[in-house]
Amino acid sequence: MPVFTGAMKTSHQPVCESIDIPALKTSGTNRACRPILDSSNISIPTSPSFRRVDQLPRAAVGIESPCALLLENGPFFSVLVAREVEWVSLEYRWKLRLAFQFKLTRSDEAIFRGFPEVDVSRHRSGIWVAKDCESHRLFSSPSFEPYRLVFLPTGVYEIFREDTKSHTPERIWACCRLLFGRLPGFYSPDKDTLMAPDDYAAAGNWFPGHEFL
């Protein structure tokens, strides 16, 4: 079972790469890192209703609601957060637009990278892959299991935007851990750990010769 644990240690300032997300610029000064949040002190506005995408009508469907897609869960944790998503059923793919990747390592490093568009599809081998549409490089976490995607209320998406600019990743990790930890096959026993199904994001060796992000 892929496990990400030891996500954040509040005794150290996480190291964050700079981020330049198209149309996602925010104002304000950098803030000090907050303590990691747990379910008792997370405040999510607008009375959200999180739901998993299992099936959508058999046509191209544009969904303006922001979303989060779990890319990786061991040894690193990685999630794509997008302003909008389009489901193209005939091609069996998602297109995530105005997205950023949030990645945590075991060494307290938090990495943010912006992507105008990301293509998520099922390869002819049956493996799910995510690709940056500009560089055509794959994210380093192909998956035998379908990637899990949840919708986000607009209020939460705006909060995440601010957190990328202020380099304060604790709230993004805490919210994602709670969201994905409640899905079937996933489990979060404590505030530093998320467990996923055995085949989730575990097919990296199936694409030799490909350039990965």
Question: What are 147-163's pLDDT values in tens digits?
Answer: 999 988 778 888 888 88
Query: Would residue 15 count as lying in a domain?
Result: yes
Return the ∠ at Cα 51 (arms to 96 and 123), rounded to 5°. Answer: 45
Among residues 175, 151, 156, which one has the least CA distance to residue 64? 151
Q: How far apart are CA 48 and CA 122, in angstroms?
A: 29
Query: Would residue 105 count as lying in a domain?
Result: yes
pLDDT at 39: 35
Query: Would residue 48 count as lying in a domain?
Result: no
Query: Would residue 94 count as lying in a domain?
Result: yes
Query: Would residue 213 count as lying in a domain?
Result: no
- Specify which residues 97 forms β-bridges with: 84, 117
* pLDDT over threshold 50, residue 88: yes
Token pair 């912006």 in the structure block, residue: 114
Query: Would residue 27 count as lying in a domain?
Result: no
* pLDDT over threshold 80, residue 101: yes
Compute and round to an integer the Cα radius of gyration of the chain: 16
pLDDT at 4: 62
- Choose the weakest-confidence range: 85-89, 149-153, 189-193, 205-209: 205-209
Query: Would residue 210 count as lying in a domain?
Result: no
pLDDT at 20: 34
pLDDT at 63: 64
Mean pLDDT taken over the chain: 72
State the pairing for strand pair 60-63/149-151. unpaired
pLDDT at 31: 23
Token couple for 37: 């949040």
State the residue range of the domain holding 177: 3-21+57-204
* pLDDT over threshold 90, residue 18: no
- Choose the weakest-confidence range: 26-30, 132-136, 195-199: 26-30
Q: How far apart are CA 129 and CA 28, in angstroms?
A: 36
* pLDDT over threshold 90, residue 11: no
Q: How many domains does the chain have?
A: 1
pLDDT at 164: 83
Instruction: Put residue 70 in one of left, alpha, beta given phi > 0 → left and psi -120 to 50 → alpha.
Output: beta
pTM of the model: 0.71
* pLDDT over threshold 80, residue 119: yes
| Cβ neighbours for 22, distance < 8 A, ≥ 6 positions apart | 98, 114, 116
Q: How far apart are CA 120 and CA 126, in angstroms?
A: 13
Mean pLDDT in residue range 102-107: 82
Query: Would residue 82 count as lying in a domain?
Result: yes
Mean pLDDT in residue range 92-104: 90
pLDDT at 6: 52
Mean pLDDT in residue range 80-107: 86
